Structure 1
Amino acid sequence: MTRKPSMDEAVGLLEGELGSGQRALDDLVTEDLWLGFLRFGRRLFDVPNTPDVDGLLFQYGTHAFDGPPAFTLDLTRQFEISDSDGDHDQYVQVHCELKYELAPALEALGSFDSWFFHDAGDDLEVWAQGLTERAAWATIHRLKPTEVTVYQEQV
């Protein structure tokens, strides 16, 4: 039986999937990064058997969190952490954040988010295909981000 990785290994595994083509992150277009994120998303982690403990989030919009406004695509994996009694304590999120120079076509996309949870009985490939069939995908899939950041945070 294959060992499932722990949540502590998630950032390194995501970085490995994103760089699996042996090209630097700043040489990749959105579609390359999305395919790497999906490879990462297909991995099953050693997590408790509780609802919504392991989810994927695809979200985009125009934001000015730490500088001038930029269009941001955030590909996130979220793990729920429970306390010793089994109650919710916090979430750990592993992000692949793609930022783009602001352009009218990107601003026109507005904002959007979609979740996938491994335990919900849905199919990851169907979820992913639905996202790439959205009109926004035609606008962003060949764009080269100005910045790609992979990081983990507790929320």
Structure 2
Amino acid sequence: MPDRWPPADALGSLEAELVSSGHALIELTTRDAWLAFLRFGQRRFDTASSPDSDGLLFQYGTYSFSGPPMFTLDLTRQFDISDEDGEHDHFLQIHCELLYTPDQLLRDLSSFTSWFFHDSDDNIDRWAEAMSVRLEPLSRHKPTQINLHAERI
């Protein structure tokens, strides 16, 4: 195995982490998905060594993207993909979206967004601890759906 994986392998890598417990995606708890995302987030991929080339995004809120409003926890990894000349070409985002039927507690959470970037002065363990605190209100809720997908931006 290479020291750093190609970003094209990231979606498969995340999926492997999520099902490593032997459970189907829909059987995972919020905590299971978060811990799998953190393992995936600590794996380094072959990206430029600039501070914004490999980032983790933790965001949530109640949205109505395709149907009734759902509380969505979106755990995303973003890679800056360069062209043959080393110039920015596009971003590749790998999403793990956990959807919940919104109740008053989830609606009261409003929305939240936080980024972590490898190769910056930030510390992934400190960021993960702060985001874990944000997950506490979700500990009593089970996702009704978990979606994985890659998106070119």
What TM-score do the two structures reach when normalised by structure 1?
A: 0.93
Determine the structure 2 residue equivalent to 1:120.
120
Determine the structure 1 residue equivalent to 2:143.
145
Determine the structure 2 residue equivalent to 1:72.
72
Is the Cα contact below 8 Å between 1:30 and 1:142 reproduced in 2?
Answer: no
Q: 1:142 to 1:43 in 2, by over 3 A?
A: farther
1:45 aligns with 2:37: no
1:22 aligns with 2:22: yes
Please list every run of 5 or more consecutive structure 2 residues that lacks an aligned counterpart in the other structure.
none
| 1:78-97 alignment runs, 5 A limit | 78-97=78-97
Determine the structure 2 residue equivalent to 1:55.
55
Cα distance in structure 2, aligned partners of 1:51 and 1:85: 19
Shift of 1:121: 2.0
Cα distance in structure 2, aligned partners of 1:145 and 1:20: 18
Determine the structure 1 residue equivalent to 2:32.
32
Shift of 1:101: 0.5
Q: Percent identity?
A: 52
Shift of 1:142: 4.0
Moved more, 80-89 or 110-119: 80-89
Determine the structure 2 residue equivalent to 1:132.
132
Amino acid at match of 2:104: P
Q: 1:142 to 1:5 in 2, by over 3 A?
A: farther
Cα distance in structure 2, aligned partners of 1:46 and 1:83: 14
1:100 aligns with 2:90: no
Cα distance in structure 1, aligned partners of 2:31 and 2:51: 30
Q: Map Cα deviations across residues 65-101 of structure 1 (whole Å, 9 max, x no partner).
A: 1111000000000001123333322100000000000
What TM-score do the two structures reach when normalised by structure 2?
A: 0.95
Cα distance in structure 1, aligned partners of 2:2 and 2:9: 15
Cα distance in structure 1, aligned partners of 2:123 and 2:102: 33
Please list every run of 5 or more consecutive structure 1 residues that lacks an aligned counterpart in the other structure.
none
Secondary structure, counterpart of 1:151 in structure 2: strand
Is the Cα contact below 8 Å between 1:29 and 1:142 reproduced in 2?
Answer: no
